[in-house]
Amino acid sequence: MTQARTVQQLFDLKGQVALVTGGSRGLGLQMAHALGEAGARIMLSSRKAADLEAAAAELQAAGIDARWIAANCADEADTRRLADETLERMGGVDILVNNAGAAWGAPAEDHPVEAWDKVMNLNVRGYFILSQQLAKKHMIGKRAGRIINVASIAGLGGNPPEMSTVAYNTSKGAVINFTRALAAEWGKYNITVNAICPGFFPSKMTASTLDTLGEDFLKRSAPLRRIGDDEDLKGLTLLYASAAGKHITGQWLAVDGGVSVVTGG
């Protein structure tokens, strides 16, 4: 009988490649750190080369093998290019983190249709196209892969009265069911697909919400009386990406200090 691996062996990502979209800052960069610290080689992607260069340098300073490709995952041709160039430069992709995202604040009755399309194209369509390309060109043939979709607790319910983000919330709800549908279909290829639903973390995207609602209010809203920090996604990311999570697929987990417990998400 094969000897069971140790915990350290199960979480070891040496020899694996991870592509992280929206990886130049915030949650994406935190997740890239987690995967790189566990031994994976990292390919970062976002739209701005200068941001990517700085993020890759930060990872490299931590001893992580990191490279970058500038791409707009709301654009189909650019997303296909990202998949092809990553496979060519890295020799494959074992772990895909779909994290690139956009938000738009406006009352539903006044929400611009073009803004709705912008959010949906990046937050949902982009996830699908990149997952499809990497699965078709690498993961299915290899019969192995890990896909991690970044959703949000905003996808678990409606908007709080203080927020008007109907497109964003709708897109993140779609990401959760996209995760479940893809996991059911691609399980036969040994590809796991799971989602993370972060709560409030300081980031460029959440800056206006933090200003509007106030950090103290958000802390009081969470049973743990805190918002997320720069290490709170690391553990779950590594679980989903590693052999430690090989029997987990089609699942989502909120990392939100307990906010969704209170709101019923």
Active site residues: 168
Q: Which residues contact 224 (CB under 8 A, 6 or more apart)?
A: 257, 258
Instruction: Please give the Cα distance from 240 to 34 (Å, whole number).
Output: 11
Instruction: Please give the Cα distance from 233 to 143 (Å, whole number).
Output: 27
- Parallel, antiparallel or unpaired: strands 145-150 and 95-98: parallel
Please tell me whether residue 191 adopts helix, strand or coil conformation.
strand
Please give the C-alpha separations between residue 211 and each of 225, 255, 259, in angstroms, as whole numbers. 18, 21, 18
Instruction: Please give the Cα distance from 46 to 131 (Å, whole number).
Output: 16
Tokens of 51: 């941001």
Q: Which residues contact 245 (CB under 8 A, 6 or more apart)?
A: 146, 192, 194, 239
Q: How many CA atoms lie within 13 A of 59 on its CB side?
A: 32
Please tell me whether residue 229 adopts helix, strand or coil conformation.
coil
Please give the C-alpha separations between residue 174 and each of 110, 179, 187, 256, in angstroms, as whole numbers. 22, 8, 20, 19
